[in-house]
Structure 1
Amino acid sequence: MVIAELSEATWRKSTRSGSDTNCVEVAAVAHVVGVRDSKDRSGPVLAFDRRSWAAFVADPPARSGV
């Protein structure tokens, strides 16, 4: 079900990426946020529930050593 939802989603990347294709793209649907490689749009997608995604983007300094 998640893959079907994301296949219809509008994918976007950061405006700071310009025309570069070495980026990740993000799409949000009802309960899921998908992340994929802009170089391989038909490739695998990481899917996160919205709560996990919000925690991920809310605290980048916590991951600075990664």
Structure 2
Amino acid sequence: MTEKSSPLLDLIWGVSAIATAIGRTDRQTFHMISTGELPARKIGNRWVIERTRLVAHFTEDAA
């Protein structure tokens, strides 16, 4: 029986870390998340986003 390997998730945790990744302030980033402009999810009390989805979000808009 072979095991399926699951890809590792590269997650960015917290508004500050997400803001750093996209070059925005915490306030700008929180606004983008709360309006649904960024595909982040709230887990517990922290926002989290998968790095590949974040990159795809910006590259799709540019295309």
TM-score range, shorter chain: under 0.3
Q: Which structure has the larger Rg over C-alpha atoms?
A: 2
Higher strand share: 1
Provide TM-score, normalisation by structure 2: 0.28
More helix by percentage: 2
The structure with higher relative contact order (CA 8 Å, sep 6+) is 2
